[in-house]
Amino acid sequence: MISAQAYGENGKMKEYHYTGPVEHKFSPYAFNGGTVLAVAGEDFAIVASDTRLSEGYSIHSRDSPKCYKLTDTTVLGCSGFHGDCLTLTKIIDARLKMYKHSNNKTMTSGAIAAMLSTILYGRRFFPYYVYNIIGGLDEEGRGAVYSFDPVGSYQRDTYKAGGSASAMLQPLLDNQIGFKNMENVEEVPLTLEKAVQLVKDVFISAAERDVYTGDALEICIITKEGIREEIVPLRKD
């Protein structure tokens, strides 16, 4: 749109922006918005995402969840460019099947995380524009969260937020789950009920202030019984 600069290069007055040659460039990426969040507990993991798919100022879909179930104990949340999210999940599904057929067992969360890191780094020079967070149970049944950057760097966390409202959610989680920046606070271990309630509250706040987050919230709760889904409405405007 219009900027308030009166001067362009060389100190001359900037031309009207519609006269003169304009350079158009095709960008292979688009930003489709969305926020993903994962929390690991003693014997559970939660992966939550909003369900809004947007582009620019428009909404493509109000029902496009960003959590993808990989195995009975692992869920992947990916936000960023939707085209790359779809392709990446297809590739991961195929690789999971291949592993199952050659090793006769399901991939563990840690193994999926390591594999995803190599898949992402394989495209180091034309990256998948995706912010991934894997949530699941490790071999001992404890909750595990692995967070990635678009080119494959990853680490195991207790909680992580990714996507458009990540900068708003992460400090809040640092305070409420990590008990950071506080003193004289009783550090109680996180229960499943408290974690779910915190995730719901935190997404309500994100939907208030981030235009790309809203419509509905899908929470995937992973325990040794399996994966349970909960859908909560969020702001639609």
Partner 1 sequence: MALSCVLEPALSGFNFENSTRNIVLENGSEEGKIKAPKPMKTGTTIAGVVYKDGVVLGADTRATSDEVVADKMCAKIHYIAPNIYCCGAGTAADTEKTTEMLSSNLTIFSMNSGRNPRVVMAVNILQDMLFRYRGMIGAHLILGGVDCTGSHLYTVGPYGSMDKVPYLAMGSGNLPAMGILEDRFKANMDLEEAKSLVSDAIHAGIMSDLGSGNNIDLCVITKEGVDYIRPHKESPFNYKRQAKYKYKPGTTPVLTKTVTQVELELLDETVQMMETAGSS
Q: CB of 151: closest distance to partner 1 in angstroms?
A: 23
- Residue 95 burial by CB count (10 A; 0-12/13-18/19+): exposed, middle or buried? middle
Q: Which of 159, 65, 161, 112 is nearest to 120 (CA)?
A: 112
How many chain residues are in contact with partner 1, going by CB under 8 A?
38
Which residues in the 49-78 window bind partner 1 by CB under 8 A?
Answer: 54, 56-59
* Structure-block tokens of residue 114: 């390591």
Stretch that binds partner 1, among 69-77, 119-127, 128-136, 203-211 (CB under 8 A): 203-211
- Nearer CB in complex with partner 1: 68/159: 159
- What's the alpha-carbon Rg for the chain, to the nearest Å? 20
Write the DSSP symbol of residue 104.
Answer: S
| Whole-number Å distance between alpha carbons of 123 and 21 | 34
Among 42, 93, 201, 229, binds partner 1 (CB under 8 A): 201
DSSP assignment string, 22-76? ------S------EEEEEE-SS-EEEEEE--EEETTEEEES----EEEEETTEEE
Which residues in the 162-181 window bind partner 1 by CB under 8 A?
Answer: 164, 176, 181
Q: CB of 145: closest distance to partner 1 in angstroms?
A: 22
| Whole-number Å distance between alpha carbons of 89 and 174 | 29
181 φ/ψ angles, rounded to the nearest 5 degrees? 60, 30
Q: CB of 74: closest distance to partner 1 in angstroms?
A: 27
Q: CB of 183: closest distance to partner 1 in angstroms?
A: 5
- Nearer CB in complex with partner 1: 67/234: 234
Q: CB of 49: closest distance to partner 1 in angstroms?
A: 17
- Nearer CB in complex with partner 1: 59/115: 59
Give contact residues for partner 1 (rule: CB under 8 A).
Answer: 1-7, 9, 11, 16, 54, 56-59, 164, 176, 181-185, 197-198, 200-201, 204-205, 208-212, 233-237
